[in-house]
Structure formats: C-alpha cells, structure tokens
Structure 1
C-alpha cells in the first residue's frame, strides 16, 4: 500500500486494529479468612491497605459465597466450576468420620479431584495460557497434583491442607521445609516465600498470557507470624482481637501488595484481572479449644457451618477497563462462577459447569436470578452439623440431616440468621425445600444414612463451636 493511500485509510479508520493480547488472570486465595476480617469489609482492628486499595481500584462483592464451609470442596469448585456434590470432594481431605454412636453415618469424601474433571488450567491452555499453581493444593497427592491437572508449574502444592512440617516440629509457617519446587531455610516464612515465587512467575511471563493461582496457607492454623508483628498487636489489642491472627492477616495483605506491584512492574496491569477470595469463612473455634480465633459478626458462626459466617467470603476483583473503580456488587455469587468467568475472558467454552460468568456484573449489568446450593453431609471439626442449604433471592433454607430440622431466614432483614421463620413462611419454606431436594437428586448428592447402632443418649462431639438449633418463631 502506498504511503498516501495508507494514511488516507488510517485517517478513515479502515485499517484493522491490532489484536489485544489475551488478559492475564491472577487468583489469590486466602485460607480461612473471614468475611469481615479486612478493612474494606468493615474491620477496624487491623490495617489492610493493599486489599483496600485493590477494592478501590475494582469491584467489591458483598454477597460472595464459597461452595462449601471447608477448604478442599471449595477449592475443587473453583478449579472445575462445579458444586462439590459433582466433584465428589465434599469435605476437607481426608475428612472427619462420624461417631459410631451418633444418629447418622456420614459419607466419605473423595480423596482427590478426579483427573477427568476439567480444571481452569485445562480450560485456558488451548488459548495459549501458561498456568502456575503456587501454594496450597489439597486436592490430591502424587498423580493428582497441579501438574496432573493442566498446570505447567507447581510450586509448594501437595496433598496437605496445613503448612508443612518444619524439621522435627509439626506444621509450621517457618522453615526449614521442603515442598515441590520450594525450599526454605531456618526461619524463612512461607507466606513470603510464596509471594516471592508468584512475583517471579509474573516477571518471567510478560510475553504470554498466564493464569496464576496463588493459594496461601495463611490464615489457617497453627497461628504463627513474625514475633515483632505479634508483639506490636499485643501492645494494643486489649482483648479485642487475637494478636497473632491479626499479624497473619497483615502478612496476607502484604502479599497482595507484592503481587500488585509485580503486575504493575510487568507493564500489563491494564490487561490483568486480579481476584482475591477465601475458601471458607473465618475460623471461630477449632475442636474443643476454648479460644476464639476470629469473629465473623454480624454473620453467624464460622468455618465448618452452613450459616453465613461459614460460607460468605470477601471477593475483590480488579479488571481495568471492565470493572469500574470503587464498584460495590450486592448480587449473590459463588466460587463455581470463577471458571466460567475466566473462560469467557479467554474466549473459551466453560464446558459442563454449574456457575455463570461474572463479567456482566463487572461491566455494570445483572445476572439472571438463580438459586445457590450447598451440600455438606459431614460433621466439621469446628462443630458444624451435616446439612444442605439453598439461597434464592433473600431467602435461605438450611436442612440439618441428623434430625431433619429446617431453618428459614430472610437475609435482607436478618443477615445474622437469628430469626427462624420456618413457621411464619411455610409456603416459601416448602418451595425452597422442593428446589433443594430436586437439585440434590439431579446432582447425585450422597446423603447420610441412619445409624442402626445409634445411642439415644449420644452427647454429640462436644466441640466448642457447636451451634444450638434456632427456635422457630
């Protein structure tokens, strides 16, 4: 084309625009972080400036849910876009057994995510993405690790759900430890090591689109952090909060800041989606411990429970040019929605999933109304009881399997789930239960069975976090 003709065509806008490269995707997943544990969700005890800045630069979801109140099932739902009932991973791996004297026998969870389940990494690979899993995996051991599930790189992921053993010690955030492609010397902090690995991956992959799954161990127990940070919080906590847990939250926020900096230094911040989420609600009590770890107020209960404190999570998404800075999104969404979102971004088909793309919400639009479902047929280490739940609109119904008890809440009026409206609203309760039961049957949900050797005087597991039934009004 002659120069004069080229200039005329360019002026008229007739030349094809250069194709925009596929967007990078960074998903940072916290472990056991509660809905109200960070500043932009109302916490006033600790500073989380990086997460707050991320929210100011993008969208903050107020009603985002994990697909399960414990870790492995939610992680499986993120990877596949499917509810845990369909992956078979319905409890943390390897799960908690039911008591031989209890009223029901709970099913066993799958010990790994099936290889035939299509993961985010496998969805994105045909679009030229390089995929890295950095940190906690907890979806299977040898033969079922991230590199067996479509990831090009696995740094630190194995079958374990807690930080690795350190020397002769038990689970610890501090080295020495030896994980896949990640070693640490004495005193090195795993949260910082994972942040370093994630930042290095971003810097090394400027020339191609990538998916980075940074799954932290923090703030999972054991509660550990740098001593100087703990001491600083002990000096001002005055019993209002756990100083070690506060220091761990700060280390999480610092990691987010480091990843944000790496993305910005790479020169691709304007073409990178950065998402932050947690795998289940904040831990109130573990086992029979009398000491509370965190408080999810105004939400009820915490990790291991189907009440809001166990499943509602912080979700922050920065996607320049798509999500308007400072956006607050109140629509209920779920971890099964992540794969469809990333698939649409990459121009790929999501396949057989239960979730939907969140891009319409990020663009300022709406989603079609839909119910959200949970099926957790297990006793949790935190005192949670086996049950199933459905949320549709502002209504939420929970059915507890051991005694067939049902509780109905209007979350718009009662986000703390204190008023059981099961008697006042029998029609709504009946409609919700019919949908929940139909979903369980269609999904192949495995239900607990009655225990023929049950002891009528069984006192329960007597865990600190056990919740009393909510009397109907």
Structure 2
C-alpha cells in the first residue's frame, strides 16, 4: 500500500534526524579504523608548577604552552612521579611508581659507600638502585608501536644507556636521546651530543629538537604516530640570548627588584623570586619551539586529530643546580619531597572533546598518561604494565575517578637539599616519612598547600593508616632503603652546611643582582648564541 505523501515526508524527516544523530554521536573510538589519532607528548625538564602564564606566573611568558591549556584541559594538581628526573621519566614510560620499576634516583648519582665521595657528610648512605629501565617492561611507546603506530623520540632520555636507549623501549626513531641528562654542549650548537648532529654554530637546541619533530610529522602524516618531544630545557646550565636577557631584565627592574632573593632552607639557600632573566629567556625559547610545532600541526592538517600532552619531570629548581626559579606558594623544589618538588604543569588537549580551558583539581600523576593515552586512542589497555596509573578520561568527561593512593619513594639525598623519604598522598592528606630520624609529617593540602603545619599529632589515626598503606606498597615491591653511615661526623656536617648554606647565600645574592644589572656580560658571545652563520 502506498503511503500518503505527507506520511512519506514525515517518515523521511524523522529518518534524517535519526541518521544525523547517529553520525553526530559517533565517538573517536568508533572511527579508529579509519584514522587513529596521533599522540604528541611534550616533556619539559625541571619546569616549576608556577613557571607558566597559565599556572599564574606574572614574570615568564609562555603563550604557546598556554594555548595548549586554553584549547585543552588543565589538571591543577598534577604530579611528577619523582622529585628528580630519571625516576620520573621511567615512570612516564612504564606507568609504574619508582619503587615498582626500581630507578629511584637520577641515573649517575652515587649510592652506598660511594656516596661519601660526594662529601655531603650525611647521616645515611643511600641504597643501590636500577641504572636503567628494565626492557622486560612493555613501555608506552612499545604499546603504541605494537598496535600500529610509528614512534619517534627527540631530546632528553636519561633512562639508561646502551641496551636501554629510546630505541630499546619502543621508539623507531631517536634524535638526541642518550644516557646523559643535561645538554653537555649547552643550548647552542655545537651540542656535544652523540645522538644529535650539530647544526650551524649558534643554532638553538630547543628549536632544533622541535624542527626534528616537525620533520617527522611531515613524513608520517598519512599514518598514526606517537611522538615524544622531550626538551633538555630548562635544565642547567641556563643560557639565553642577549636580546631575551634584556627583555626580562627590564621586566624585572620595572616590577621592582626585591632586596633579598633567597631564604635559607634546612641545607641550602632557596630562591624566593621569579626574576631570573636568563632562565626566563631559556623558557621563552622552549615556548617558541613548541609554538612552531603547534603551527606545523595546523599547517599539516593534523591538529584536529592529534592528542597533545604537556608536562614536566619534576618541580622547578629553587636550590642547587642554577637556583633558577621560585615555586611559591608551594614549598621546596626539585629534589624535595614537598609540593614544589613534585607538582608540575599537567596539560592535555584532545581536539574532539569539549574541554577548552577546563580545569580539574583531582590529584593526578604522570603514571596516568600511559593508560589515558591508550584509552583516548581506542587501543587496548595493558593494566599489568601501567599498574600504577589510571585513565583520566572520566575526569575529562566531567565524571570522577575512584580515590587512590599516589606514592613516591626517594631513599636518596637530592643535590638540591632534599632528604631520603617516602611519601603517600590520598585525598587531601599527604604523609612524608623521613628516614634520617624516622619521623613523619602529615599535611592537609586542602587547607595547607604550602605545607607549613605538620598535623600528624592531631590526626594520628589518619597518619598511621597512611603509613601502613605506604609501607605495605613498598614491601610488596621490595623497595630498598638507606642505611646508617657509621662514619658520619656531626662536626664535619656542620662545617659543610655553613659552607654551602650561609656562605653560599651571600654569593648567590651578589650574582642575582649582577644578572639584573645593565652591564651583565656572561662571556664574549652569550654562550655561543652569537655564532650563527648567516
């Protein structure tokens, strides 16, 4: 029977609505067979939680990194998995906390009786640790490679040398990544890097790593790729051009130079001001390099199908190394167990999710990247591998995730003044166990983000419960602990502390003001940046 014309029109109208709705409701996962999303992971070295404009810095300028936040999702309580680099980077790659994978200190740090040669006169001897990430682990790049992705790495590795290089952990291509953690040749060519050919004299290292990443994307735009752009910046030695130094010197002077830039910590002076123009220039160069990568994604037509992650490997350097920045109001910095040493920028852009400029304050950690990125790409998760991470997709969809413990195990002394500790955070509570004297500190971070008041005595049940959960985990993973040094000398320790503390503070204050003076001249060609051949 033939339907009347108006019934046919009504039927067609509702059918078109139904089909449109089905098409509009298709998720990225249902379209995976057609074109899986690309993944770009960007890691900065030693970048403080408040070193970006988008994380409330009034001094540094980072418009391109800020763009990732404004077009994506910002986790305001994002954590690195360790307060120093190698363990943190091993955790990003493996999805495991440091006690689980065994790389508990930066690779190359002395341990056991060899630690005495560092002449830091400490009460404890740090334990031995793994000097490379075990190749039996299936890493994040391996998981992507094994599911059809082309994989690429550029920049700092520092998770092992021969036999544990990027190529041994799932990266098809490696540019510049080897066992060393700092830029041996500095930030301007020649680089003195066996995995990176020198460019024209004076070429910028951050820009070069970005250019290598862009060339990789151009050559692989027709197939899905997993790329990791891992900057050496902003690790010491901090270097910049005369032009950038002057820009930030003038900015600091115009804002008013504080009389004092440092405050004594327990061991070393701690920087209190974001007014280092050389560090600011180094950071801006990295931001400009990231801007080039983002522009290339646009030009190549890849931006709408590329997930971008931006994070750091540990907190900003407030003491030791180059005394580069301030993490205030967070306490401490790189090498320390406090928030300034563990909190990092934590940004994710997923183009097809409605998340522009959204923020979330759920505690998350870098081991979460592994399952999250697999989940977003519609790939098989590997829960036995990324056992200490969870997918953050529910949070990005406006839902919640189950409360879980975040655990840090660092039984070593940081070059920056940190002590051997293990830490657990669950909910708003954070417990720190100190191995030197076995005391515990408990903080309610919802009320005391700066960790100024230890409330363990008033909250013993909470503290003891967290302590048990922490050490149950450490026991399960056969964690190693520091031991008492029978040769410890209190007299030698006090002499050392005076030399590196009070005496050093005077020198640092002089250098800070010198760097902010009009006649500051680090050398005759600004670390080689003026050697560019036209």
Normalised TM-score (structure 2)? 0.80
Whether the 8 Å contact between 1:133 and 1:214 is mirrored in structure 2 is: yes
Q: Distance in 2 between matches of 1:40 and 1:327?
A: 12
Aligned to 2:315: 281
Q: Distance in 1 between matches of 2:177 and 2:289?
A: 18
1:204-243 matches, cutoff 5 A? 204-238=219-253, 239=257, 241-243=275-277
Show CA shifts across 1:373-424 (max 9, x none).
Answer: 0000000110000000010110101011111121111111110000111111
Whether the 8 Å contact between 1:136 and 1:215 is mirrored in structure 2 is: yes
Q: State yes or no: 1:341 paired with 2:375.
A: no
Q: Distance in 2 between matches of 1:120 and 1:196?
A: 23
- The offset of 1:451, in angstroms, is 2.5
SS in 1 for 2:216: helix
1:438-453 matches, cutoff 5 A? 438-453=472-487
SS in 2 for 1:248: helix
Whether the 8 Å contact between 1:195 and 1:258 is mirrored in structure 2 is: yes
Q: 1:455 to 1:234 in 2, by over 3 A?
A: same
1:68-79 matches, cutoff 5 A? 68-79=82-93
Q: State yes or no: 1:105 paired with 2:137.
A: no
Aligned to 2:325: 294
SS in 2 for 1:425: helix
Aligned to 1:30: 44
1:155-166 matches, cutoff 5 A? 155-165=175-185
Q: State yes or no: 1:119 paired with 2:139.
A: yes
Aligned to 1:471: none
SS in 2 for 1:183: coil
- The offset of 1:292, in angstroms, is 3.4
Q: State yes or no: 1:141 paired with 2:161.
A: yes
Normalised TM-score (structure 1)? 0.90
Whether the 8 Å contact between 2:154 and 2:175 is mirrored in structure 1 is: yes
Whether the 8 Å contact between 1:59 and 1:323 is mirrored in structure 2 is: no
Aligned to 1:3: none
Aligned to 2:198: 183
Whether the 8 Å contact between 1:54 and 1:318 is mirrored in structure 2 is: yes
* Pick aligned residue for 2:356 from 325, 344, 347: 325
Q: 1:384 to 1:29 in 2, by over 3 A?
A: same
SS in 2 for 1:382: coil
Aligned to 1:401: 435
- The offset of 1:458, in angstroms, is 5.0
Whether the 8 Å contact between 1:286 and 1:464 is mirrored in structure 2 is: no
- The offset of 1:96, in angstroms, is 3.8
Show CA shifts across 1:159-212 (max 9, x none).
Answer: 1100033xxxxxx11111344253223111111100111111112111111111
- The offset of 1:439, in angstroms, is 1.0
1:415-430 matches, cutoff 5 A? 415-430=449-464
Q: 1:105 to 1:292 in 2, by over 3 A?
A: closer
Q: Distance in 1 between matches of 2:434 and 2:197?
A: 42
Aligned to 2:286: 252
- Structure 1 residue runs of 5 or longer lacking an equivalent are 1-6, 166-171, 466-473
Aligned to 1:51: 65
- The offset of 1:95, in angstroms, is 1.3
Q: Distance in 1 between matches of 2:501 and 2:116?
A: 17
- The offset of 1:124, in angstroms, is 0.8
How many matched pairs?
Answer: 449
Q: 1:79 to 1:69 in 2, by over 3 A?
A: same
| TM-align CA RMSD | 2.2
1:62-101 matches, cutoff 5 A? 62-97=76-111, 98-99=115-116
- The offset of 1:452, in angstroms, is 3.0
* Pick aligned residue for 1:201 from 205, 208, 216: 216
- The offset of 1:109, in angstroms, is 2.5
* Pick aligned residue for 1:314 from 345, 351, 371: 345
- Structure 2 residue runs of 5 or longer lacking an equivalent are 1-11, 258-272, 503-534
Q: Indicate the larger mover: 316-325 or 28-37.
A: 316-325
Whether the 8 Å contact between 1:218 and 1:252 is mirrored in structure 2 is: yes
Q: Which has the larger radius of gyration?
A: 2
